[in-house]
Amino acid sequence: MPIPLIRLDLVLSQEGPFLAAAELTQSEERVMESHSHARGQLMGALSGLVSIGLNRQNWVVPAIHAIWIPPRHVHSVRSYGPFSGWSVFIAEARCASLPSEPRAIRTTPLLLEAVRRAATWPGAPLDETQARIAEVIIDEVASSQAESLGLPRPEDPRLTRIADALARDLADNRRLEEWATWAGLAPRTLSRRFVAETGLTFAQWRQQARLLRALELVADGVPVTTIALELGYENVSAFIEMFRRATGTTPGRYMMTANAPPR
């Protein structure tokens, strides 16, 4: 049974303060099965990495990002190793100005400091100062830009078969034409349907899958050379360049951020 992150009434009920927050650190992996709640949730990690199953996608939450989950969206949660993170729960009535679909956002120092303040509140009605801080959090979510930390899952059984095979072995470098033959459809059909069902080309989908797996392995402290080989890159330099283009930093620097202890 996972340790409750926050009082259940502050998650399940629309009563009480319109915003509540909490931080939690635990030494073991954190796993929560599929669930939903009446309030919107903003979830982030202080150290390590968390993945969220949401809308037929797997969303990865490294330490410098957060995931916005609108009210009543079914989701599951799993951390990789020890968990240190935070969540903000916002009453449904106050979510009208916030994104109506889940999104990953990059956290800002202002957002993190406001969340830390909110996490100290007792769950009682907010006073004027607390309400202003809560509004800052809502404004930060409302003005955020979406980041690419999700991996859409195709629905066509033939495409699903390919996606599952790649998930089992991301080092498989077969070309699109070879995958099409393996799955029993024309290359042009595979190319067209992948874009139609995921919004990504086959090559983009595979790179995104590799990036999300790389983030998980980086958070686990796996050496960069091992990660590059596991993901099918011919050399470490090619992997580092892909990682830098996607995240804006190198795996080594990212690892320092992801595994830094919460202050």
At 86, is the secondary structure helix, strand, or coil?
strand
CA dist 205 and 159 (Å) reads 11
Domain boundaries, the chain: 9-142, 153-258
> Each residue's pLDDT tens digit in the chain (263 positions)?
566 667 777 777 778 899 999 998 877 777 788 889 889 999 988 776 777 888 777 787 776 789 999 999 999 988 766 778 899 999 999 999 999 999 989 888 999 999 999 999 998 999 999 999 999 999 999 999 888 778 888 889 999 899 888 888 999 999 999 999 999 999 999 999 999 998 899 999 999 889 888 887 887 788 999 999 999 998 999 999 999 888 788 888 876 665 554 44
Do 9-142 and 153-258 have matching folds?
A: no
CA dist 188 and 195 (Å) reads 11
Within 13 Å and on the Cβ side, how many CA atoms surround 250? 9
How many other CB atoms sit within 10 Å of the CB of residue 169? 11
DSSP state of 49: E
Closest by alpha carbon to 224, among 252, 187, 201, 183? 252
CA dist 100 and 96 (Å) reads 8
Q: Which residues pair with 101 in a beta bridge?
A: none
- Reading the block at residue 79, the tokens are 């951390």
Q: Which CATH architecture has domain 9-142?
A: Sandwich (2.60)
Q: What CATH number was assigned to the domain covering residues 153-258?
A: 1.10.10.60
pTM for the structure as a whole: 0.70
- Reading the block at residue 168, the tokens are 């089992």
